[in-house]
Amino acid sequence: MHVLPIIGGRTLSDVTAEHVEGLTAGKTDATKYAISRTLSSMFGAAVKAGKLAESPVTVRFAKTVRTKDDASIAELDEVAALAAAMPERLRVSVWLAAIMALRIGEVLGLQRRDLDLDAEDGPVLHIRRQWLIKASPPRYADPKAGSAGKLAIPASLVPVLRAHLDRFTGPDPESPVLPSTIDKRAPVSQTTFDKAWRAARDQVKPGLHYHDLRAVALTLYNRGGATAEELMRRGRHTDLDTATVYQGVTAARDRTLTARLDEALREVIK
């Protein structure tokens, strides 16, 4: 999309709401969203810098959200079956995605010190790093922007996590939660994990992607009465429009919603 024909030769103060409307006219919803987001940021910066009295961007278009079909959403009993189909040392990875809404890089980046199962205010999981699978060689790095933080852990999941730590995770605070069988100081390799995941998936729900398990977690959280802002905090989604959306979401509220999630979870974790 080229801006030159409409606003390219104008000064900031000459651009009007009508010009902005001209840029978005006839475009798809996704393109309208991208244009309005970019222009809002640009003119907003000019207003903040004192170069412009007000922004000509008066209309913001909603971001188009693609919904998942039924084939990509697993039910809780299917999640339990997927976990059971994984090798024992990797089973916890299914629960970390399907209940805690972690991404694969965050799961592989977890260390023993990140699981505070005996915290005074209730068990919590800290997201402090990710494992960069595509780096050469793979390495630890900061989490994806906006993803660091801590999440309340449902009570029913605590025994599962504790049993895994006792059996498969090294004793040091920096020990990977999902260690490689070759080098205990590093997480399991992506190749090994993918092979195990595909085998389990093909037994239980062919076509399901590991990342799709996050939808299970957020669906359960939503059923507990979470607001859109609380869902975004739990899933750690952020973009230009939601940079300040988490300010009103408290740890206490996260614990309340997690307790409601636990009511559904205890039916499949015996």
Dump pLDDT digits (tens) for 137-176. Answer: 999 999 887 788 899 999 999 999 999 999 999 999 999 9
C-alpha distances in Å from residue 72, one per residue of 141, 207, 210, 232, 241: 29, 7, 10, 20, 27
Q: Which residues of the chain have pLDDT under 70?
A: 1-6, 8-9, 29-30, 59-72, 237-250, 270
Query: Does residue 61 lie in a domain region?
Result: yes
Q: Are residues 31 and 164 in the same domain?
A: no
Query: Does residue 245 lie in a domain region?
Result: yes
Closest to 230 measured CA to CA, from 262, 206, 208, 252: 252
Q: Are residues 134 and 206 in the same domain?
A: yes
- Length of the chain in terms of residues written: 270
Q: Are residues 101 and 233 in the same domain?
A: yes
202 Cβ neighbours under 8 A, 6+ residues apart: none
Residue 5's pLDDT is what?
56
Q: Are residues 145 and 200 in the same domain?
A: yes
Query: Does residue 113 lie in a domain region?
Result: yes
Domain of 48 in residue numbering reads as 1-66
Contact 150, 159 (CB under 8 A): no
Q: Are residues 179 and 157 in the same domain?
A: yes
Residue 46's pLDDT is what?
78
84 Cβ neighbours under 8 A, 6+ residues apart: 91
Query: Does residue 270 lie in a domain region?
Result: no
Residue 266's pLDDT is what?
84
Residue 133's pLDDT is what?
87
Residue 61's pLDDT is what?
56
Helix (H) or strand (E) holding 115: strand 115-116
Residue 184's pLDDT is what?
93
Q: Are residues 37 and 153 in the same domain?
A: no
37 Cβ neighbours under 8 A, 6+ residues apart: 60, 240, 241
Q: Are residues 118 and 170 in the same domain?
A: yes
Among 47, 66, 85, identify where a domain stops: 66
Q: pLDDT per residue over 238-252, tens digit each?
A: 553 433 333 344 677
Give the integer Cα–Cα distance in Å for 152 and 100: 8
Q: Taking the C-alpha atoms of 203, 209, 214 and 218 in order, what is their torsion angle to the nearest 10 degrees?
A: -80
Domain with 138 in it: what CATH number? 1.10.443.10
Q: Are residues 52 and 88 in the same domain?
A: no
Structural domains counted in the chain? 2
Q: Does the bond joining 171 to the residue before it have cis omega, within 30 degrees of 0? A: no
Among 66, 93, 112, identify where a domain stops: 66
Contact 89, 168 (CB under 8 A): yes
Residue 10's pLDDT is what?
75
pTM of the model: 0.68
Residue 238's pLDDT is what?
59
Q: Are residues 75 and 11 in the same domain?
A: no
Residue 70's pLDDT is what?
47
71 Cβ neighbours under 8 A, 6+ residues apart: 205, 207, 208
Q: Are residues 77 and 62 in the same domain?
A: no
Query: Does residue 103 lie in a domain region?
Result: yes
Q: Are residues 105 and 227 in the same domain?
A: yes
Among 31, 66, 101, identify where a domain stops: 66
Give the integer Cα–Cα distance in Å for 257 and 118: 19
Residue 163's pLDDT is what?
98
